[in-house]
C-alpha cells in the first residue's frame, strides 16, 4: 500500500491502521524526519519514501522504489491523501495560491495515480482518493 501525505492527520492514521492490519505500507512524505517518526511509531511494516506530489521526478523515483521493493508483485492499494486547503475571499486570493492548491490537490493526484496505476493493476489493487469537507462549502 502507498499512502501519500502520510506525515500527519488522516494520512498518518491511515498508515497506522494499514500497518496494524499487517499491510506493508509505503508512506509518502516530504520530510525525512516525518518518515523516520512514522517508522518508529508503526514499526517494520512501514517504509517511508520521499514524495512531493508536485514534483514529477519524485513521483517517478517513488514508483521505482516501490516497484523494486515489491520484486515483481503489484501494489495492493494507493491512498491519495496529499492535499492542502488554502482559501479566503476571491478578491484576496492571489492566482499563485490557487495554482499551488491545484498543483497539489489535482495535478499531483493525477501524476501519482497515473504513475502508480501499472503497479496497482498488477496487484489487482484499489485506489482511494481522500477529499475534504471543504469541497461542500461555497
pTM of the model: 0.93
The C-alpha atoms of residue 57 and residue 55 are separated, in whole angstroms, by 5
80 DSSP β-pair partners: 129
- H or E element: which one contains 128? strand 126-129
- H or E element: which one contains 136? none
- H or E element: which one contains 47? strand 46-50
Q: Where are the domains of the chain?
A: 2-136
**Per-residue pLDDT tens for 119-134?**
999 999 999 999 887 7
Regarding the domain with residue range 2-136, which homologous superfamily does it belong to in the CATH classification? NAD(P)-binding Rossmann-like Domain (3.40.50.720)
Mean pLDDT in residue range 15-23: 97
Amino acid at each position: 500500500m502507498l499512502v501519500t501525505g502520510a506525515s500527519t492527520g488522516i494520512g498518518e492514521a491511515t498508515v497506522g491502521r494499514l500497518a496494524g492490519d499487517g499491510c506493508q505500507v509505503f508512506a509518502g512524505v516530504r520530510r525525512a524526519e516525518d518518515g523516520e517518526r512514522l517508522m518508529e511509531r508503526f514499526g517494520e511494516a512501514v517504509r517511508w519514501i520521499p514524495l512531493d506530489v508536485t514534483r514529477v521526478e519524485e513521483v517517478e523515483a517513488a514508483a521505482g522504489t516501490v516497484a523494486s521493493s515489491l520484486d515483481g508483485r503489484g501494489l495492493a492499494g494507493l491512498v491519495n491523501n496529499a492535499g492542502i486547503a488554502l482559501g479566503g475571499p476571491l478578491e484576496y486570493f492571489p492566482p499563485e495560491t490557487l495554482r499551488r492548491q491545484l498543483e497539489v490537490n489535482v495535478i499531483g493526484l493525477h501524476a501519482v495515480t497515473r504513475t502508480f496505476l501499472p503497479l496497482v493493476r498488477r496487484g489487482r489493487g484499489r485506489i482511494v482518493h481522500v477529499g475534504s469537507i471543504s469541497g461542500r462549502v461555497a
